[in-house]
Amino acid sequence: MDKTLNKFVAQHLWSEAVLDYPWWRRYLIIAARYLYVVLDDLAKGELTLRAMSLVYTSLLSLVPLMAVSFSVLKAFGMHNKQLEPVLLQFLAPMGEKGVEITSQVIGFIDNVKISVLGSFGIALLFYTAISLIQKIESTFNYIWRLDQHRSIGRRFADYGSVMLIGPLLVFTAIGLSARVLSGGLADEMTTMVPFLAHLRELAAKLTPYLMIVAAFTFFYMFIPNTQVKLRAGMVAGLVSGVLFQSLGWGFGSVVVSATDSGPYVIYSGFAILILFMMWMYISWLILLVGSSIAFYVQHPEYVVPARRSGDLSISQQEDLALQIMALMAQRYYEGKRPMTSTEYVARLRVQIQGVTRVLRALRLAGLVVEDASEPPRYLPNAPLENVNLKQVLDAVRSEGASAALVRRRPRPGVSGVKEIRENIDRAIASALEGTSVRDLALGKDEERPNSAASQ
């Protein structure tokens, strides 16, 4: 077993004896496995490092992001003061200092006059705001083991719609919920049925928490450049919402309430800034931990004590490439819809890094091509009866290769290595001679289905 958080705990959680446990105990072990892998990721330090990076980016981009986002509210007759309850709820763990920070942020946003910035100033304001979301996407893509990011056009389209339409939807939802809970119809119903008064009071208390869970769920489903299942997003949103409220209560009770000691004595006038940065760091870390939970819920093949990097040996990549090409050919000849990378992961039960790397190698070799859908689906880019299996193996074996260093005085290679390589290549070519991808998928003696002729 590779180096991991705690080998003794890992051996117990992933022991074969778990299969003989009662069902309730197996579920507890499964939940403990998810907790273990998340804590292991935290212990490695990458999530905490990225959370600190996002704190710094947030300090630079917070006011421009809110200025752009809530400028659209003014067009609908809303004022930035209506942003105040949302900020107060986010900064509630900071107590009175949260109120002070909220008023300062609102003042900064009020002082930003987009109409007098000019075209260059508006473009710079949008770029600063979008850069924060781009940084978040990059972090989420790292957690989700994704190499491909959104294109420039998609970034402006997706992020711009969120910044301009998102605040309007949020405040509309808040306004509707407040109107429903405090409207005349609700008063009449609670008067006729006294029991509904307790439900109304409970709903009023739960609404802020449900809003937080919904916001986290939206982040987990929208930000990663992949299709996130609703179940994964909701589980992560619920866990993150509970963590946010619990740690917020602890932060307010332990750190902020220590008025005569702690940061107030050490940092004096800078205490409010230090507390704000500390809470920002905790909030970003909660968001990233929730994203990690969503990833593991959607990809349970990564819930292992070690080797979650997804690296594959050359032999494993070759096997995976042959399986992908065979599946692609089978679906092509059967007239079925092409598969996405996520569908290949689910079908072959492999980790997503291996699938994306092999698909990239096949695409660069000209054997497959992406369609225009989102997420992209993969189609054959050449007649499958003309694609030899050795071409498939060569595609993954040469992927990522770098050119040799150019020297003024070339040095001779180690004697015998080139000849051995040539012998290996000839042996592979001889073994695979006359075997195409179509033969692998359908069998050499099977005729092509009629559906292929129609295509």
Are residues 76 and 168 in contact, defined by beta-carbon separation less than 8 angstroms?
yes
**Could you tell me which residues come within 8 angstroms of residue 345 by beta carbon, excluding any fewer than 6 positions away?**
299, 301, 351, 352, 355
Does residue 34 share a domain with residue 97? Answer: no
Mean pLDDT of 64-92: 67
Label residue 73 by pLDDT band (50, 70, 90).
Answer: low
Residue 245 lies in a domain: yes
Residue 320 lies in a domain: yes
d(CA 211, CA 86): 10
d(CA 126, CA 120): 10
112 pLDDT above the threshold of 80 = no
Does residue 364 share a domain with residue 258? Answer: no
Does residue 257 share a domain with residue 385? Answer: no
Does residue 352 share a domain with residue 225? Answer: no
Residue 437 lies in a domain: yes
Residue 405 lies in a domain: no
Give the CATH number of the domain where residue 390 resides. 1.10.10.10
Does residue 373 share a domain with residue 275? Answer: no
Residue 1 lies in a domain: no
Does residue 152 share a domain with residue 16? Answer: no
Does residue 330 share a domain with residue 275? Answer: no
Please give the DSSP secondary-structure letter assigned to residue 202. Answer: H
- Name the CA radius of gyration of the chain, rounded: 28
SS3 content of the chain, % helix, strand, coil (to 5): 75, 0, 25
**Could you tell me which residues come within 8 angstroms of residue 339 by beta carbon, excluding any fewer than 6 positions away?**
327, 328, 331, 347, 377, 378
Helix, strand or coil, per DSSP, at residue 380: strand
Look at residue 292 in the predicted model and tell me its pLDDT.
Answer: 94
Q: Which amino acid is at 76?
A: F
Does residue 183 share a domain with residue 84? Answer: yes
Label residue 455 by pLDDT band (50, 70, 90).
Answer: very low
Look at residue 115 in the predicted model and tell me its pLDDT.
Answer: 62
| C-alpha 139: how far from chain center | 7
Q: What digits encode the pLDDT tens for the residues 123-178?
A: 777 777 777 778 888 899 899 988 777 777 777 677 766 666 666 566 565 555 55
**Which one of 277, 302, 327 terminates a domain?**
302
Residue 411 lies in a domain: no
Does residue 183 share a domain with residue 88? Answer: yes
Mean pLDDT of 430-445: 83
Look at residue 295 in the predicted model and tell me its pLDDT.
Answer: 92
Does residue 114 share a domain with residue 242? Answer: yes
Q: What digits encode the pLDDT tens for the residues 172-187?
A: 655 555 555 455 544 5
Q: What digits encode the pLDDT tens for the residues 366-422?
A: 999 998 887 789 999 988 888 889 999 999 888 766 555 555 666 666 778 888 888
Residue 308 lies in a domain: no
Cis peptide before 224 (omega within 30 of 0): no
Does residue 347 share a domain with residue 208? Answer: no
Residue 410 lies in a domain: no
Q: What digits encode the pLDDT tens for the residues 249-291?
A: 887 776 666 555 555 555 556 677 778 888 889 999 999 999 9
Pick the range with the lowest mean pLDDT from 68-72, 196-200, 375-379.
196-200
d(CA 187, CA 321): 64
* Structural domain of 319: 314-400+417-454
> Domains in the chain: how many in total?
3
Does residue 114 share a domain with residue 23? Answer: no
Mean pLDDT of 211-224: 86
